[in-house]
Amino acid sequence: MDSKVSAGKIYSKFQWFLFVIVIPILFTITLALVLLTIAGVNVFEYSKVITQNTPIVSSYVSSDEHAIVENRESVELQISSLEGTIQEKEEQIAELEKNLVEKETEINSLQEELLFLEEELLVKEEEQKTYGKTIAEISKMYETMSPKNAAVIIPKLDNEEALSILSALKTETVSKILEKMDPEDAAKYTQLLTE
């Protein structure tokens, strides 16, 4: 039972301390703050001035302010550094976009050139087919022609045409035509045929 009584006394002393000392002090401080604020006094600025003038407390306040200033400067340096990095990256992006446009232009140009070359190749293939048919038809004419007449006509042709015609003819017909040619022309066409 003594333990209940002593516990009750401790609790009652704590209650007494709380109700008689702590709550009235907090009420008085709150009331004073409200009244001073209404009166136009900036209590927090005034308390800052007082703490800066108090020797021991001022070292804590000024070191906190110094730390805040250093933090602010550090953050500003980081922000400045990051802004520089952002600007560099934006310049790189602009350069890459410029290169992309140039490469797309180059690709379009090459595609146009490719289409042109394909069309040109088709035209040349058609010409080759036509030329091949023409050479075949002409070589048939020379097969039926007398070797003496062919020997007179062939040297008057362009070397390529003459070579094409002679290449399309049978070996026996070519030998007869070469027999009827001048020796110089025969040697020339024989050499062209071997090449």
Span 131-182, pLDDT tens digits: 666 777 777 887 888 888 888 888 888 888 888 888 888 888 888 888 888 8
Within a domain: residue 145? yes
pLDDT value, residue 1: 47
CB count in 10 Å sphere of residue 103: 10
pLDDT more than 70, % of the chain? 84
Q: Is the pLDDT of residue 4 over 60?
A: no
User: If 0-12 CB within 10 Å is exposed, 13-18 middle and 19+ buried, where does residue 114 land?
Assistant: exposed
Q: What percent of the chain has pLDDT over 90?
A: 22
Please report the sign of the dihedral spanned by the C-alpha atoms of residue 146, residue 150, residue 151, residue 153. Answer: positive
Give domain status of residue 31, yes or no: no
178-190 per-residue burial string, b: 16 or more CB within 10 A, e: under 16: bebbeeebbeebe
- Please indicate, yes or no, if residue 175 is contained in any of the structural domains: yes
Q: What is the pLDDT of residue 9?
A: 59
Q: How many domains does the chain have?
A: 1
**8-state DSSP, 195:** -
43-60 per-position pLDDT tens digit: 777 777 777 777 666 566
In the predicted structure, residue 65 carries a pLDDT above the cut 80: no
> Nearest Cα to 47, choosing from 36, 39, 38, 31?
36
d(CA 145, CA 177): 10
**Is the model's pLDDT at 82 over the cut of 50?**
yes
Position 37 scores a pLDDT of 85
Range of the domain at 174: 119-195
Q: What pTM, to 2 d.p., does this model score? A: 0.36
Q: Looking at the domain assignment, is residue 167 inside a domain?
A: yes
Instruction: Please tell me the predicted confidence (pLDDT) of residue 116.
Output: 92
What's the whole-number mean pLDDT along residues 25-48? 85
Q: Is 78 inside any structural domain? A: no
Is 71 within a domain?
no
When the pLDDT of each residue in the chain is averaged and rounded to a whole number, the result is 82
Residues 138 and 53: their CA atoms lie apart, in Å, by 121
| Residue 107 clears pLDDT 90, i.e. is over it | yes
More confident residue, 105 or 159: 105
